[in-house]
Amino acid sequence: MTQLRDLKISTLDLVPVRADAGPAQSLRNSLDLAQHVERFGYNRFWVAEHHNMDGIASSATSVLIGYLAGGTSSIRVGSGGVMLPNHAPLVIAEQFGTLASLYPGRIDLGLGRAPGSDQMTAHALRRERSGSADDFPDDVEELSRYLGPRTDDQKVIAVPGHDTDVPMWLLGSSLFSAQLAGMRGMPYAFASHFAPRYMHEAIRVYRNHFKPSTTLDKPYVMLGIPMVVAETDEKAEYLATSVYQRILALIRG
């Protein structure tokens, strides 16, 4: 059994916008947090794609990842996650291929199949694209091809992108992505801060469906757990009320 001291600790930052500041300060706060946890020896620093929310400033996720990676030196930086139905796989391959070329060995690409917003905003993001969450498995496969070795018969390539092999994770708060991640032999991150009651079942489904791949020979799971830190319990309880409101807003979409 894995010992607690062997666990790798990471941070997921939603880049909250404070009532007494604006998005610019929130982005600077995110970099400051990334620099702090890097000094503490944390393994990863991820940011999540959300849209049309006054309290969250991480909508341009790949742009923000470049800012964070440029202001740190060793911690892995990535998406937790990019909501793939909102984007053409080629665009994500080019964005993360560029990031991986600038910051080799430090970029992660976590993928989700939810819109990260309400349906009206999802339509504004996709416009005339026919893609939807139902296309998620095919989009993941297409994206993987763009980031992998270029083949002789390949008509469309990602530049930068091909041959970067950016590590791809599947994210989820239900059992769908758990099963898909297992079948594809990909690492899996479960949003237990959204759906804690499904956590054990999702891990079981992932492990039961896992098939070794060229990138992963055994299951690898990461769990999202909410945390609020302050000088006293009372102040932490006060700060946590903002977190509760934000999570409720995300769930209600």
DSSP state of 161: B
- In this prediction, residue 83 carries a pLDDT of 93
- In this prediction, residue 129 carries a pLDDT of 60
- DSSP E strands: which ranges in 60-122? 76-83, 107-112
CATH of region 4-252, choose from 1.10.10.10, 3.20.20.30, 3.40.1280.10, 3.40.50.300 = 3.20.20.30
Q: Write out residues in the chain with pLDDT < 50, as ranges.
A: 1-2
Task: Quick: pLDDT tens for 108-132.
Answer: 999 999 876 677 877 777 766 665 6
- In this prediction, residue 118 carries a pLDDT of 72
Six-digit token pair at 17?
């916008």
d(CA 65, CA 79): 8
Domain ranges of the chain: 4-252
Strand order in the sheet with 11-13: 11-13, 44-47, 76-83, 107-112, 168-172, 188-190, 221-223
- In this prediction, residue 1 carries a pLDDT of 45
Which residue type occupies 32? D
- In this prediction, residue 228 carries a pLDDT of 84
Q: What percent of the chain has pLDDT over 90?
A: 69
Count other Cβ atoms within 10 Å, centred on residue 127. 6
Six-digit token pair at 212?
């070794």
Q: Model pTM?
A: 0.89
Which residue type occupies 71? G
DSSP state of 234: H
Which residue type occupies 204? R
> CA torsion angle for 158, 86, 80, 178 (degrees, to 10)?
-100
Task: Quick: pLDDT tens for 147-165.
Answer: 999 999 999 999 999 999 9
Cβ neighbours for 65, distance < 8 A, ≥ 6 positions apart: 47, 77, 78, 79, 99, 107
